[in-house]
Amino acid sequence: MFDYKLSSKSPLDGFVLEAGGARLVETKGFALISIAAPHLGERALKSALKNTLGIDLPKPGFSSRSETTPDITLMSVGRDQWFFRFLETEKSSVDWVVGAVGNYAAITDQSDSWAQIELSGISARMLLECVLPVDTDPSVFPEGAVSRTVLEHLGVIVTRQPNDADGDYCFLLMSPRSSAKSFLHALIGHRRSITS
């Protein structure tokens, strides 16, 4: 019997940077589980989600939070497709979702597919305007809004989070894991970046 252990590595090694009125943090430990509605199955999925988790199936461009477990969010990311996001526990994240709505959706673990970065602070919007083709004005991108687009040739899912402790804007940016370092460079390497 051998005793080899695998250790876990996050896409950005726990990157944290705070400067120039913005805070950029790699958020670790969050599961991302894709659920996709089967053909003609959205209505059944919707009621299953409501009944088992107390969460609404969000409309395109939005996310929703569980009424019973506020730490669970569900974001719309594509045609008939949503991502659960919640803190991972010892128990398998996929199994947990399968247990909740397994009969109503195709379920795929995406937790290791995305680098997750939270950007907050008074300069957050100014930083984004040089890279992100999304109107982040609160009148059109309110809390819970989701946009899936491209940032510097890289796919990105951006979600407006609740404001941070100082009342400033907070955004969750998710981009594919393999190019996470380029993604980070795109965020901090431009003119209005928090490092310049």
Partner 1 sequence: MTQKNRIGGGLIDQNRSVQFDFDGQSFEGYEGDTLASALLANDVKLVGRSFKYHRPRGIFSAGSEEPSALVTLREGAYSEPNARATVTEIYDGLSARSQNKIGSLNFDLMAVNDLLSPLLTAGFYYKTFMWPAVFWEKVYEPIIRQAAGLGKLSGAEDPDRYDKGFLYCDLLVIGTGPSGLMAALSAARTGLRVILADEDFRMGGRLNAERYEVGEMPAADWAAATLAEFMSMDNVRVMPRTTIYGAYDHGIYGALERVSDHVAEGSEDVRQIAWRIYTKRAILAAGSTERSIAFGNNDRPGVMMAGSVRAYVNRWGVAPGKRVAIFTNNDDGWQTAHDLQGQGVEVSAVVDSREQTTLLPPKGVRVVLGGRIVDTKGRLGLKKIILSDGQDVAADCLAVSGGWSPNVHLTCHQRGIPVWDDKIVGFVPGATLPMGMAVAGAAIGVMTLKACLQSGLDVGNSVVEALGRTVSKSKTPKAQDEVSAASAFWYVNESKGRAWLDLQNDVTTNDVKLSHQEGFRSVEHLKRYTTMGMATDQGKTSNILGLAVMAEISGKSIAETGTTIFRPPYTPVSIAALAGRSRGKDFRPARLTPSHDWAAEQGAVFVNAGAWRRAQCFPKEGETHWRQSVNREVLATRASVGICDVSTLGKIDIQGKDATDFINRVYANAFAKLAIGKTRYGLMLREDGLVMDDGTTARLSEHHYLMTTTTANAVSVFRHLEFCHQCLWPDLDVQLISATEQFAQIAVAGPNSRKLLEKIIDPEHDISNDAFAFMACGDITVCSGIKSRLFRISFSGELAYEIAVPTRYGDSLMRVLMDAGGEFDVTPYGTEALGVMRIEKGHAAGNELNGQTTALNLGLGKMVSRKKDCIGNILSLREGMVRDDGLRLVGFKPVDPAMSLNAGSHFIGVGAEAKTSNDQGWMSSVTYSPSLETSIGLGFIKSGDQRMGEKVRAIDLVNNKSVEVEITSPHFFDPEGRRLRV
- Say whether residue 153 binds partner 1 (CB under 8 A): yes
Tell me whether strands 22-26 and 114-120 are parallel, antiparallel or unpaired. Answer: antiparallel
Q: Which of 195, 133, 145, 147 is nearest to 169 (CA)?
A: 145
- Nearest-approach distance from CB 176 to partner 1, in angstroms: 5
Per-residue string for binding with partner 1, 17-46, x by CB under 8 A? -----------------x-xxxx-------
> Three-state SS for 185?
helix
- Which one of 53, 75, 117, 132 is in contact with partner 1 (CB under 8 A)? 132
- The count of chain residues that interact with partner 1, using the rule CB under 8 A, is 54
Q: Are 77 and 35 in contact (CB under 8 A)?
A: no
Residues in the chain: 196
Q: Are 169 and 118 in contact (CB under 8 A)?
A: no
Per-residue string for binding with partner 1, 93-112, x by CB under 8 A? -------------x-xxxxx
- Which one of 16, 139, 165, 167 is in contact with partner 1 (CB under 8 A)? 139
Task: Name the DSSP class of 178.
Answer: G
Q: Report the distance separating Cα 22 and Cα 123, nearest Å.
A: 5
Q: Which residues bind partner 1 (CB under 8 A)?
A: 1-10, 34, 36-39, 79-81, 92, 106, 108-114, 129-135, 137, 139-140, 152-154, 176-179, 181-183, 185-186, 189-192, 196
